[in-house]
Every structure is written in C-alpha cells, then in structure tokens.
Amino acid sequence: MENNELIQNMVLELRRGIISIAVLNLLNREEYGYSLLKALSDQGLEVDQSTLYPLLRRLESQGLLQSDWRIVDEARPRRYYVISPQGREVLAQLKQEWAVISETMQKMLL
Amino acid sequence: MNLIEKYVAEVGKYLPRRNRADIEAEIRSTLEDMLDERTQAAGADREAAALELLKEYGPPRKVAESYGAVQYLIGPRLFPIFEMVLKIVAAVLLGVGLLGFGFNAVRMDMAGPALVTALGKLIYDSVGGVLMAFGNIVLVFAILERVLPLSDQKDLTDEWDPTDLAKEEDPDQVKTSDLVAEIVFTGIFLALFNLYPQYVGIVLFSDNQWTFVPVLTEAFSRYMPWINLLWVLQVGLDVWLLRKGMWDVTTRLINLALKLGSIAVAYVMLVGPAIVKIDADALAGTTLADLAVKLDPLSQFILVPFLIVMIVVPVVEIVQTAIHLFRRRPSAPVTIK
C-alpha cells in the first residue's frame, strides 16, 4: 500500500471519531441534511453525504437527535434535525473528553 | 421519471423495506437541494448537472450499503448451523448413494467400464435430487433467519466475560443449534413424505440404467395426517422455544406429549398393514420383475431411519425430559439478613 493511501485511510479513521461531536454541536441549531453538510464544510470539515446521513440516523436511533419532516418557505419537504436533551448531556461529556484528548496529544506530539 | 427519481428508485432496491420510503425521501430531498445549488446560474443545463451530481454521489448500491443495508439470505448467526446441516445431508446422500451403488455392483457383478458407466449415470441422475435437497435446506434457513428474534445475537454484542466459560451450563437454556437442526430436518422429512413420497425407495441397476423403485405403500399415506400433525406441532414448539430461549415445565410437558404421540403413531404403523413393500407392478416390464419378491426384504431397510426418527429419538428425549422435570433446580436460596 502506498504511503498516500495509508495516510488517507488513517485520516479517515481520525475524522470518523470526531464527526459525531461536530454534528451534535452544530445541531444545537436546527438544520436539514444538506444545510448541515454545508455548515460542516464551512467550518472546514468536509464530510461525505454517505457518511453523514447514516450517522444522523444512528444518532437519532440512540436518542441523541430528534427529527421531523417539514415544508419551510414553500420549498420541498426536508427533514430537520436538532439535538435532543439527552444529546446535550452526551455532547457536554464528549466536549470534556475531547479537551483531554486534544491536550494529551498536543503534549505528546510536541 | 426524471434521472433523480430513477436513481432514488435504484437505491431503494437495495434498502430494507422497513426504512425504504424514509431514506428514499431524504436522498431525494438532498439531491434536489444539491442540484438547485448547482443550477442557480441562468441557462445552466439541469440534466447535465444531474448526471454529474449522480456520478459524484456514487453507485446506488454503495449508497444503500452506507445505510447498513446489506441483507442476508442466511446471516452470520445461522450460517455455522446451515453449514453443519448441509454437510450432514451431503454425507447422508453420499452414503445412501454409495451403499445403493455398492449393493448393485455386487448384485450385477459389475467390473471395469460397466462399473464406471453405472457410476457416471448415478451421479448424473442424482444431480436434480441433490439440488432439490439443498434448495429446501436454504429455504428453511432463509425463513428461520426472518422468524428468529434478533435477541439471538446477544452473545455478539453483550459484554464478554471469560468467567462465563467456567459456569455450569443451565439445563433449561435452549440449545439453538439443536433446535434449528431439528426444524430443518423435520422440514426436510415433511417435504419428502408429502411432496416427494415417490423418492422414498431403493435404486436398482438393470438394462444399463438405474431404476428407482418406490417402496411406500398406500397404507403409509393413511398415517400422513397424524405424522404431519406431530411434525408441524414439533416445529411450532421449536420456534416458540427459540423465541423464549428457555425451557419451562409447560414446554417440557408439550415436548413429552409430542414424543409419546410419535411413538404411538409409529407403533400403530408397524403393527398395521405393511407400510413399505416392493411392488411387483412397479418393476413390470424390466428385467427386475422377477426380483420383486426376492428384493422385498431389502425394502424393510427403509424402515430403519423411520424407526430412528419416530421411536429411538423420542425415547431418548422422553428419558432426558423426565430427568429434567424431576431434577429441576431448587429455587434460589433465601438470604437471611
């Protein structure tokens, strides 16, 4: 396996872990799928739609998100997602965990 | 139907029915949002943009798979038992085939090319029957895959505790593999005796061809409703047990009643009119016609597996059930505080 491919796979693994935190955090404000994709991209986190939508379904089935289908401004029906009360609790814990991991890695890699 | 609709329908083909409409709606909504954004500029070619977008979005099957939509005909939890049952059936078919072939080779004093020809013809003639047997097994397992509750997979997701290995096995815990094997083999016997009774018999080689001689008599078919009732109830009990996961007094007593019923039916069949016989009419016109009387005792061998299924296995199970019922574990000791 080429180095480039190895690195790509490892970066994918790294990102997979943090996407859940990023999504939960962004969904403090209501978003539909495509607007969330763009919001993630605007923040510098490019996520593939084939990763995002299954993740949204999983987070919802775990009770961390809520969603409903709505028509806003006479546009087409869209599914709007927002973080649930349980999701807020989990996100708070995850943020703390992330701070510890980030600090540890910063020290280790210096 | 426009391109996006066709694409969504194609993804839907690979999605589980339960979530299909919901996932399809979400993909459609996203694709249309993406397409709108790309074609905002005046004069943009919407169809060309849709083509480009769908190419980027990925092959429909891959998109469906990202939703965890891989569907099994026979999933990983049942596959080891499926493999075991296939091997047993293959071994039985091979054994019966070789036994029949050996008997005929000796009877006809076959040697050299005649032996090879006869073997070749046997293999050729058996292909249909073997495929049919394997097909029925796959069908039964595919049904079980959809009937058995998902909780059966708990050992894959529960926390792994190595001390479980040292624990004494709970005698009331159902053994999934035993029950699944019983369901499959009962299903095979049900199919064989009801749909293909003409395939219960012996094969004889004569006039350079294999002749299959059915041995079940009219008397046998008269008992089929009773056999069917017992076997269907047995399958029902097994499925119920698989869903419950534990034996209790009720299921043990029902099992006991079914086994006693099996022995009673088998007894009535054996003392009544002959249930297996080589019919001389079936051999009329072949060089085997004069052998009908001589071969008749051979047909009685067919009774051996029947006796095992209807009497020996039930007797063993009755003894086991009786032991379980009389040696039920004492209730948990009361803790005195």
**What residue of B is the nearest CA neighbor of A81?**
B26
Chain B positions touching A51 (Cβ under 8 A) are 66
Name the residue in chain A with its Cα closest to that of B27: A53
Domains and CATH numbers, chain A: 3-109 (1.10.10.10)
CA distance A28 to chain B (A): 21
In terms of Cα–Cα distance, which of B301, B290, B296, B263 is closest to B95?
B301
**Over 90: is that where the pLDDT of B302 sits?**
no
Phi, psi of A103 (to 5 degrees): -65, -45
How sure is the predictor about B157, in pLDDT bands with cuts at 50, 70 and 90?
A: very low
The CA distance from B237 to B255, in Å, is 8
3-state class of B205 per DSSP? Answer: strand
Record: contact B30-A77, CB cut-off 8 A = no
Summarize pLDDT for B51-78 with one digit per residue, the tens.
Answer: 989 998 889 888 888 887 666 788 877 8
Helix (H, G, I), strand (E, B) or coil at B225: helix
Distance CA A26, CA A44 (A): 13
Q: Classify residue B287 by burial, with Cβ atoms within 10 Å: 0-12, 13-18, 19+.
A: exposed
Cα distance from B56 to chain A (closest Cα, Å)?
10
Q: CA-CA distances (angstroms) from residue B299 to A22, B100, B102, B216, B227?
A: 74, 12, 16, 9, 21
Per the CB < 8 Å rule, is A79 touching B26? yes
Q: Any CB–CB contact under 8 A between B265 and chain A? A: no
Q: Write out residues 18-47 of A within 8 Å (CB-CB) of B.
A: 32-34, 37
Residue B303 reports pLDDT greater than 80 = no
Indicate the residue of B32, B58, B67 with minimum beta-carbon distance to A54. B67
Chain B residues closer than 8 Å to A33 by CB: 26, 29-30, 33
What is the per-residue pLDDT for A86? 96
**What pLDDT, in 10s, does the model give residues A57-66?**
999 999 999 9
- φ and ψ of B172, to 5 deg: -90, -5
Q: What is the pLDDT of residues B226-269, one digit of tens each?
A: 989 999 999 999 988 888 888 888 888 898 899 899 888 888 88
* Among chain A residues, CA nearest to B29: A78
ipTM: 0.82
- State how far the Cα of B260 lies from the Cα of B159, in Å rounded to an integer: 41
Least confident among B67-76, B150-159, B238-247, B288-297:
B150-159
For chains A and B, CB pairs below 8 A equal 42
Look up residue B246 and give its DSSP letter: B
- Measured between beta carbons, the chain A residues lying within 8 angstroms of B66 are 50-51, 53-54
Cα(B117)–Cα(B113) distance, rounded to whole angstroms? 6
Distances (CA, A) of A57 to A52, A63, A65: 9, 10, 9
> B218-250 burial, b for 16+ CB within 10 Å, e for fewer?
eebeebeeebeebbeebbebbbebbeeeebeee
pLDDT of residue B326 exceeding 90, the answer is no
How many Cβ atoms sit within 10 Å of the Cβ of residue A6?
10
Determine whether the interchain pair B67/A53 forms a contact, defined as Cβ–Cβ distance below 8 Å.
yes
Using a CB-CB distance cutoff of 8 angstroms, which residues of chain A are in contact with residue B57?
49-50
Query: Which residues of chain B are within 8 Å of residue A32 when distances are taken between CB atoms?
Result: 29, 33
CB B138 within 8 A of CB B73: yes
Does the structure show a pLDDT above 70 at B284? no
Cα A53 from Cα B279, distance rounded (Å): 68
Q: What is the arithmetic mean of pLDDT over B316-328? A: 78
